[in-house]
Amino acid sequence: MFMLMYWGFPMFLFLIGAMMFVFNSKHLLAMLLSLEFIVLGLFMFMYIYLKIFDFEMYFSMMFLTFSVCEGALGLSILVSMIRTHGNDYFNSFSILQC
């Protein structure tokens, strides 16, 4: 029972993030938040896996570093899109204008 809860919460986070990413693709900020949910679920999966098999936690630190860089890059794209277009709606954004 404990192992089901141990693996179930990261799987729940990952699936909720993936469903939000697929179904709510109108705002860029909502998509970035769902990507962060997915990254958080993957980090928890990796942490549990490394803890169970007694591996070192160095790779989890590298994963966190890359996920923070991904989040900062997404926020910078969001800020530049809001400055040029005035909002973060995907339907008003045209690739041909860039």
At 95, list the tokens. 């690739």
Instruction: Report residue 2's pLDDT band, with 50, 70 and 90 as the boundaries.
Output: low
| Residue predicted with more confidence, 46 or 94 | 46
| End-to-end CA separation in angstroms for the chain | 53
Instruction: Report residue 41's pLDDT band, with 50, 70 and 90 as the boundaries.
Output: very high
- Residue 23 is part of a domain; what is its CATH number? 1.10.287.3510
79, 32 contact by CB (below 8 A): no
The b/e string for 62-83 (b: 16+ C-beta within 10 A; e otherwise) is ebeeebeeeeeebeeebeebee
47-97 pLDDT, tens digit each: 988 888 888 889 899 999 999 999 999 999 888 888 887 777 766 655 555
d(CA 41, CA 21): 14
Q: Which domain holds residue 48?
A: 2-97
pTM, full prediction: 0.80
d(CA 29, CA 78): 7
Instruction: Report residue 29's pLDDT band, with 50, 70 and 90 as the boundaries.
Output: confident
What is the count of structural domains for the chain? 1
